[in-house]
Amino acid sequence: MKNLTLLGAILIVVGVIALFIGHFTFTETKPVMKLGPLEVNSQENHTLWIPTTAGIVIVLAGLGLVVASRRS
């Protein structure tokens, strides 16, 4: 039962972080052209948005696991 409580707590923390952060950005480097020692790269910025409903569902799932582990 302790494992369910721990998993529920982790889900709650991840859900709250998803609600407050909302998105994260990362940069991807792609090679465009390589001619001998000369190499040209392209950097692309990507933003991944986390839907609010996903954060709420994760928090509720975590709360459900914590409550379920306490009842047993």
The predicted structure's pLDDT at residue 1: 63
Distance (Å, whole) CA 65 – CA 15: 13
The amino acid sitting at 53 is T
Flag whether 34 is in a domain. no
Domain presence at residue 32: no
Domain extent for 56:
1-20+49-72
Work out the number of other CB atoms within 10 angstroms of the CB of residue 55: 19
In-domain check, residue 6? yes
Task: Tell me, yes or no, whether 40 lies in a domain.
Answer: no
Q: What is the pLDDT of residues 26-68, one digit of tens each?
A: 999 999 999 889 999 999 999 999 999 999 999 999 999 999 9
What's the total number of domains in the chain? 1
Half-sphere exposure of 67 (CA within 13 A, CB side): 6
Q: Is residue 42 part of a domain?
A: no
**51 contact partners, CB below 8 Å, separation of at least 6:** none
34 or 71: which leads in pLDDT: 34
Q: Is residue 39 part of a domain?
A: no
Tokens of 2: 């302790």
